[in-house]
Structures are given as C-alpha cells and as structure tokens.
Chains A and B, each alone.
Chain A
Amino acid sequence: MQGWIGKPVRTFYAGDSAQPFSLGGNMAKEDRPEGVNRREFLTTASAGVAAAALAKPAAAQDASARMAAATPPSAAMEAMENDPPEGYSAAEASEYFVKHPGSDFMVDVIKDLDFEYITTNPGSSFRGIHESIVNYGGNASPELLTCPHEEQAIAMAHGYTKAAGGKPLAVLCHGTVGLQHASMAMYNAWCDRAPMVVLGGNHYDATERRTGVEWSHSAQDAARVVRDYTKWDDTPMSLQHFSESMARAYKIAMTPPMGPTVVIIDGHLQEAEMHGTPPTIPGVAPTRPPQGDITALEEAARWLTEAESPVIVVDLMAHDQDGVDALIELAEALQAPVVNQSGRMNFPNNHYLSQGAGVVAQADVILGLELYDTWGTLNTLRDRVHRDHQRIARPDARVIDIGVKDLFTKSNYQSFQRYNRADLSIAGDAQATLPTLTEQVRRQMSSARQASNASREARWRSAHDQAKAASRDAARYAWDASPISTARLYAELWQLIKDRDWALVSDDSQQSRWARRLWTIDRHYQHIGRSGGAGLGYGAPSAVGAALAHRAEGRLPINVQRDGDLMYVPGVLWTAAHHEIPLLTVTHNNRGYHQEFMHLQRMAARRQRGIDGSSHVGNELNNPAPDFAKIASGMGVWSEGPITEPGDLRAALSRALDVVDQGEPAFVDCVCQPR
C-alpha cells in the first residue's frame, strides 16, 4: 500500500490496510520537535514534575526519556518557573499567570492525531490554542499556515487531502464570523466527500465574555451555521471531552462517505489552568470502510458477465492509486469501457478502455461506482422552460449502483441529486468492494464470454485511438488565435511538464477538458477532480493546498486558474509566497464569469429580446481588466503577463517553471478564449 506524503508506512484510507493504526496514548516521537524546550524541561524535570505530569501526561511521558540526559535546571530557572514573578504576590500571580493552560493539552491531542498543518485566519476566540501551537507545540506538526480568509483555509484543506491520499488537515476558525466565512468552502468539501476537522472558537459562559466583540463573536450553538453540510459536530465542556470528541471527529471525518467535522473550543477551556484528574488521549483506530454484500456482488457479477455491452461509470471512487489499479483489473476482466466522470482520478485516460460518455447509451448493464448523480448519468434534462427529460440509457438497461451515498445524507441542501431507482443497489465503499466484485466476475465468466474478450479489446482499442485522434485534430482549431485557445494552453504546458513528475491541481472541465484530452494522466495524484459543490473561490486555495501536499513528494503542481474564481480569495497567493509553496499557476483568463454569459444569452434568446452585445452586464471582469500579474506580484509571487499571443506563451511558462523549481510559486496571466 502506497502511503501518504512522507509517511509510507501508514495509509489514511483504511479500506485495504493490513494493520489498523492506533495513535492513542503516547504522542508519536517523530512528530515532536527536535530537542526539548525550556518549558518542557522545567515542567517535567523540576520539582514541579508531578503537577506537570498531571497536566499534560502525553507530552511529559514521551519526553521523559530525553529528560534524563538533559542538564538539570539551575535554581534561578526553577524559581522563574515556580515562584511568583518579581513584584507579584502569590495571590496576584495566581490571577494573572497560567502555567498549564488547557490549550496545551489540546495541542497534545492535535499532535496525537498527526495533523501536519492547521490552516487558519487568526481570531481572538482561539488565541489560547494559537499561543499553545506556537510556543508549546513549537509550530511544527501541526504548523500553522496563515490564510487571509477562512474560505481559503477550508479550501486549502480540501485540496490538501485529495492530493495527500486522504490525509486530512485541521482548520482553526474564529467564532461566528470565521465559521461564516468558512461555510461555503465547507459545503464544497461536504459535496466532494473531503475529510477535515474544523476547530471553531467560541465563548460559552456569557458572564465571562469581554464586552463588545467577544459577544458578537460568540453563539449559543456555534456549529449550527455549518451543521447542514458537516458530518458531525460537538462542543466539548471539558478537556477530556475535547480529547474524545477530537478522536471522534477525526474518525467520523475519515469514514466513508468522508466529510468535514467540527469541534467548537470554548475560550475559557483553552485559557484556564488545568486542574484535577489528568485528561487522557484515547487515540483513533480507523473504521474499515463497508464493503458491499457478498450475495449482491455475486448477482452483480452475474449480470455483468452475462451482459453483451457492460459499461462502468465512475465518479467519486478512487481514494488512492490502489483504487485506480483495482478498477483497471475489473475493467480488463470484463473488457468493459470505463466512463470516468472525474470526481476523482479513477482510471488512466491512456488506457484503451477509457471511453467517452456516449457508450452509456449502448449499455445493457451499467455499473455505477460512487456516482454523484446516478439519475443524471442515465438521463438528460433539457434546459428549457418546460423541463422535459430524455433517458440516455437504453430503456432495458439494468443499473447496478455501488457506493456510500445512501449511508449518510442530510435533508436541507439538495446535493444528493434526483432519485434514481437502481436495479441493484449495493451500499459499500466502491474501492473496498471492487476486489471482491472482480473475483466474482472472474469466477462466473463463462469460457465463451472469456473468448469474446479479444474482440472486445480490439473494438475498444480502435475507439480509444479514434477519440484521441479526434481530440488532437480538434486542438488545431484556433491554434494561432489571440486570445489564446485553451487547447494551445494545455498543449504548451504539456511540452514543458511531460517528462517530469507533475500533478494537475485544478479541474479542466471549464477548459473543454483539454488536460484529459491531450495529456497522459495515469496516476491517481495527477488529477484532483472537482470542487464538489461548484462554489467559486475553491480553485485557487485548493490548488495551493494540494501543492502543499505535493511539495513533500517533490512533485510539480500545475494550476490552471480561472479568473473569476481567483477574484474570491486572491490572498491565497500571498499564503503560497509566505509559506514557500511551489506552484505554477496559469490563468485561464476569459475576462468574466463565462458560464453566466451563456446563461444570460439563453434567457435573452428564450424571451426573444436578443443580447446584442450586452451579455457583459453583470458578468464581465473587464473595463478595467484586473491585472492579475500585478495582483500576484503584490502578493509576493513571481509573475508575468498578461500573455495574449500564443507565440509568447511557451517562453513565459518556461521562465515561471524556473521559479517553481527554486521552491517558490510563480504566476502567468494568460488571456484565453472563453472555453
């Protein structure tokens, strides 16, 4: 099992891990900062060792071995730590100074869960844990990443987990206003089944709130604002409660269908001295994802092997490369075409069984794997006043639907899509289920059916070659155009990256899918999929989050950035510069919210009023055109552009790559055709 970034021994998707991991009890030694800081030393090796051990047993126990070899503190140092500060009485000092704040223990818990980073926009409602992360935790594992907007902080976590094979980030959000800023990005993560643990600040005891802002930034039910699109939330009332709720939040977030969870951390709990029974850290043993029922899989295999034209359609399926490899095995066993809807990178686009969506119409049995929209896969709804629909699939086609969507959903937001009655619905994580299904297919396949595989293979190889040739031919059109064609943008990029270990950290759906049509994408990490909820403001920060994950692997991340999306949280460029996250960003700058141009045209045509050059109203990002290169430069990112002539593009991209190769972000503003 290939692991996540930098930690090959552990998998975060538990579906095929041989050994469940448990982080409980003691903090992993490799996650502690090197050496022992003064505070650690004094709290464990001084006369106050007993109190310190009570206060933070995990850190203390772990550090004890290193304490033995350390130099004992001087009397002056001991006095500094344990006696009242100069000029203060013991009573005064007890009111002002805190030796073992609750948030130190919170950091122990967070470290135990092995979060490498916490994205955050600073806020006073979590100032206690902020200080603990910096001073007590040494700002390492987790390291705080400064984000100028909570929407960015969440979207970075979203991009990170998809690029890191499911390893989640934590996010710290300010009370009320911070979670409000974060909410749209959390909705995207919810729709996209992206795990993360979001910590929100709050002040519950009304009698202890500072006047003014602390009231404005507190809520009776702080997590309510995002509850409709999070899997679980809690409001711990003690440190032990916090410890257990964090473990639960992590576990729930990571169990398919994955998604965001929320833990609200009370300001007083963070800032007050720890007293009483020392809290403990329970740790997490991951939940093995559910696999489909064996009887149902036997039936599914029978349908598939008896079908004349089976087709596999896949969307939010592959958690990692193992999922890709498992799907290749099934597809080849059946010699069935695979339609990758690309919510994840599920299947290599250079495999001959990778086919276009048109094959769905030919199928007599359709196997859906983690489909976001099963009904929309089988039907099309015309965008007219009278919204009639047509079935794309054959009327007699049987549908097998395998996935986790029926295992957890909520009512209010309608991301669950239109109801579809599958002929065989199997609840289970598709990646975890595939090996059993493939085994059943092999077992049940008749020799006659097996014999037909050679001709099936020839047919699909031919179709694949034709589709590839058609894409190359289509890319010729507008090759020399200005604004630059999106096909040329991707073709030029490919020339520079094709021999490197690259990853596309953006979705090419709005650029006519040119990456998927022209590039060879055969590794799971090479395509990040969609945003989930299609909420703008996701693209730029998720790309930076993904680039952060790829940094550890030394990969070259490429972000083809839509201009409209960038206008939401351009501050993420500063985060990339500040934290030295290498990333090549190239804009697909079509000077507007292009989808909405087309919607306005459609309305004007439908009403027979005509658009007559006015579709820019409310849609354009022009007059003046934002100077994105200047914006990037102002954020501390190397930049160039706007590039409008195709002949100038290659050299600009090459210069930008030189910068990225030095470990920094670079930005090229490329003015493009609409799609």
Chain B
Amino acid sequence: MKTTKTLLSIFTALLLAQAGSAVAQDTADEGRELYMANQCWQCHGFEGQGGAAVRIAPTVYPFEAFAQFVRHSNLMPAYSPNVLSDEQLRQIFEYVRTMPEPPALEDIPELSDL
C-alpha cells in the first residue's frame, strides 16, 4: 500500500512537472513572439547577448528586477503597461530564461587563446 502511494505520488509529481513544463514552454514560446514583435532584439540581440544595450540572457535576475529595468530604466526606453502588460512582460522574461548558456570559454579556441 505504501509503495503504491509512493508510486502514485511520483507519477502525480511527474505529471504536474510535465504539465508545468509544458505551460512554461508555452509561456516561453509566447515570450519569444513578443521578444521579436517588440523588437527587444534590436538592442539586446537575437540571443539576448547584448549589443547596443546590456546582455539579458541567460538572465540571473529575478522577475522583479527584470520588470523594474523594463519599466523604469534610465537607459532603455521605458515600456509602460499600456504597451507591454505584466503578463506579456512575464512571458518575455520566461523566454529570456530559456535561452541556453553559450559554450564555455575553453571550448572556443578563438577566444580562449586571446
């Protein structure tokens, strides 16, 4: 009985995780569309690597800091909620979080031997 309960819990957790992952992926996909449509890439690059503005991916900032930067920065044009809702901002944030880490420096000879 105990084993059955345990297996059921694990199964449920996996299902929830999978569902959560699917939701997160959906959110990130929508975030990607918003990232492109709102031209975030013009300043931050298609990979969020930075350029005219700072690197934002893979982000280590919490959402609150990310939102503060988008809404109230002195550096970038402030995107108000009338232009970009909190939900949309969250979706962009999730997309930015999903961006993969680049190769390690040791794996890029063109850079590691500079």
Q: Which of under 10, 10 to 19, 20 to 34, or 35 or more describes the interface residues of B?
A: 20 to 34
**Does the CB pair B52–A480 fall under 8 Å?**
no
Which residues between 46 and 92 of chain B lie within 8 Å of chain A, taking CB atoms?
A: 46-52, 55, 57, 74, 77-80, 82-84
Give the interface centre of A479, A481, A604, A613 by most chain B CB atoms within 10 Å.
A479
Give the interface centre of A492, A495, A601, A602 by most chain B CB atoms within 10 Å.
A601
| B38 close to A (CB within 8 Å) | yes
Contact of B114 among A472, A474, A478, A605 (CB under 8 A): A472
A608 in contact with B83 given A491-B111, A598-B42 (CB within 8 Å): yes
**Does the CB pair A477–B102 fall under 8 Å?**
yes
For residue B103, which residues in chain A have a CB less than 8 angstroms away from its CB?
A: 476, 479-480
Contact of A481 among B36, B46, B110 (CB under 8 A): B46
A473 in contact with B49 given A518-B114, A605-B79, A613-B37 (CB within 8 Å): no
A615 in contact with B49 given A476-B108, A479-B108, A609-B83 (CB within 8 Å): no
Give the interface centre of B38, B74, B84, B114 by most chain A CB atoms within 10 Å.
B114
| A215 close to B (CB within 8 Å) | no
For residue A477, which residues in chain B have a CB less than 8 angstroms away from its CB?
A: 45, 47-50, 55, 57, 102
For residue A675, which residues in chain B have a CB less than 8 angstroms away from its CB?
A: 43, 45, 51-52
**Does the CB pair A473–B42 fall under 8 Å?**
no
**Does the CB pair A491–B110 fall under 8 Å?**
yes
**Cβ of B108 to closest chain A Cβ, rounded Å:** 6
| A610 close to B (CB within 8 Å) | yes
| B12 close to A (CB within 8 Å) | no
For residue B55, which residues in chain A have a CB less than 8 angstroms away from its CB?
A: 474, 477
**Does the CB pair B80–A674 fall under 8 Å?**
no
Name which residue of chain A comes closest to B52, CB basis. Answer: A675
**Does the CB pair A481–B49 fall under 8 Å?**
yes
Name which residue of chain A comes closest to B37, CB basis. Answer: A613
Which residues between 476 and 517 of chain A lie within 8 Å of chain B, taking CB atoms?
A: 476-481, 483, 485-488, 491-492, 494-495, 512
For residue B80, which residues in chain A have a CB less than 8 angstroms away from its CB?
A: 605, 608
Give the interface centre of B37, B49, B78 by most chain A CB atoms within 10 Å.
B49
**Does the CB pair B102–A610 fall under 8 Å?**
no
**Does the CB pair B45–A478 fall under 8 Å?**
yes
Instruction: Give the CA-CA distance A483 to B114 in the complex, in Å.
Output: 23
| B105 close to A (CB within 8 Å) | yes
Instruction: Give the CA-CA distance A494 to B50 in the complex, in Å.
Output: 21
**Does the CB pair B79–A597 fall under 8 Å?**
no
Instruction: Give the CA-CA distance A598 to B43 in the complex, in Å.
Output: 7
**Does the CB pair A602–B102 fall under 8 Å?**
no
**Cβ of B81 to closest chain A Cβ, rounded Å:** 9
Instruction: Give the CA-CA distance A597 to B51 in the complex, in Å.
Output: 14
Instruction: Give the CA-CA distance A606 to B108 in the complex, in Å.
Output: 41
Instruction: Give the CA-CA distance A477 to B37 in the complex, in Å.
Output: 22
For residue A601, which residues in chain B have a CB less than 8 angstroms away from its CB?
A: 39, 42-43, 77
Name which residue of chain A comes closest to B38, CB basis. Answer: A611
| A594 close to B (CB within 8 Å) | yes
**Does the CB pair B49–A485 fall under 8 Å?**
yes
A474 in contact with B50 given A601-B39, A605-B77 (CB within 8 Å): yes
Give the interface centre of B74, B79, B110 by most chain A CB atoms within 10 Å.
B110
For residue B104, which residues in chain A have a CB less than 8 angstroms away from its CB?
A: 476
**Does the CB pair A610–B111 fall under 8 Å?**
no
| A589 close to B (CB within 8 Å) | no
**Does the CB pair A594–B42 fall under 8 Å?**
yes
For residue B41, which residues in chain A have a CB less than 8 angstroms away from its CB?
A: 674
Name which residue of chain A comes closest to B79, CB basis. Answer: A605
| A235 close to B (CB within 8 Å) | no
For residue A472, which residues in chain B have a CB less than 8 angstroms away from its CB?
A: 105, 111-112, 114
Instruction: Give the CA-CA distance A468 to B55 in the complex, in Å.
Output: 17
A674 in contact with B79 given A476-B103, A476-B111 (CB within 8 Å): no
A673 in contact with B52 given A594-B42, A597-B42 (CB within 8 Å): no
Q: What 0/1 pattern do residues 621 to 656 of A give for CB contact below 8 A with B?
A: 000000000000000000000000000000000000
**Does the CB pair B77–A512 fall under 8 Å?**
no
For residue B83, which residues in chain A have a CB less than 8 angstroms away from its CB?
A: 604-605, 608-610
**Cβ of A388 to closest chain B Cβ, rounded Å:** 10
For residue B112, which residues in chain A have a CB less than 8 angstroms away from its CB?
A: 472
**Does the CB pair B37–A478 fall under 8 Å?**
no
A615 in contact with B42 given A476-B103, A478-B102, A610-B83 (CB within 8 Å): yes
Contact of B110 among A478, A495, A605 (CB under 8 A): A495
For residue A673, which residues in chain B have a CB less than 8 angstroms away from its CB?
A: 45-47, 49, 51
**Cβ of A644 to closest chain B Cβ, rounded Å:** 12
For residue B77, which residues in chain A have a CB less than 8 angstroms away from its CB?
A: 601-602, 604-606
**Does the CB pair A478–B49 fall under 8 Å?**
yes
Instruction: Give the CA-CA distance A476 to B46 in the complex, in Å.
Output: 14
Name which residue of chain A comes closest to B104, CB basis. Answer: A476
Which residues between 337 and 390 of chain A lie within 8 Å of chain B, taking CB atoms?
A: 382
Instruction: Give the CA-CA distance A474 to B114 in the complex, in Å.
Output: 13
Name which residue of chain B comes closest to A592, CB basis. Answer: B42
Instruction: Give the CA-CA distance A480 to B108 in the complex, in Å.
Output: 10
**Cβ of A255 to closest chain B Cβ, rounded Å:** 38
| A612 close to B (CB within 8 Å) | yes
**Does the CB pair B108–A512 fall under 8 Å?**
no
**Does the CB pair A598–B52 fall under 8 Å?**
yes
Instruction: Give the CA-CA distance A289 to B68 in the complex, in Å.
Output: 53
For residue B43, which residues in chain A have a CB less than 8 angstroms away from its CB?
A: 598, 601, 674-675
A613 in contact with B49 given A472-B114, A601-B42, A602-B77 (CB within 8 Å): no
| A422 close to B (CB within 8 Å) | no
**Does the CB pair B45–A615 fall under 8 Å?**
no
**Does the CB pair A605–B105 fall under 8 Å?**
no
A613 in contact with B36 given A477-B49, A598-B43, A605-B78 (CB within 8 Å): yes
| A424 close to B (CB within 8 Å) | no
| A475 close to B (CB within 8 Å) | yes
**Cβ of B73 to closest chain A Cβ, rounded Å:** 11
A674 in contact with B45 given A473-B105, A479-B102, A601-B77 (CB within 8 Å): yes
**Cβ of B41 to closest chain A Cβ, rounded Å:** 7
What 5 A-B pairs are tightest by C-beta distance, nearest first?
A: A675-B51, A477-B49, A605-B77, A478-B49, A478-B47
29 interchain pairs (CB within 8 A)? Answer: A382-B74, A472-B105, A472-B111, A473-B105, A474-B49, A474-B50, A475-B111, A477-B49, A477-B102, A480-B102, A485-B47, A487-B49, A518-B111, A518-B114, A594-B42, A597-B42, A601-B39, A606-B77, A608-B80, A610-B82, A611-B38, A612-B37, A612-B38, A613-B37, A673-B47, A674-B45, A674-B51, A675-B45, A675-B51
**10 further A-B pairs in the complex, CB-CB below 8 A; given A476-B104, A606-B78, A610-B38:** A468-B114, A477-B55, A483-B46, A485-B47, A512-B52, A594-B42, A602-B77, A604-B83, A606-B77, A674-B41
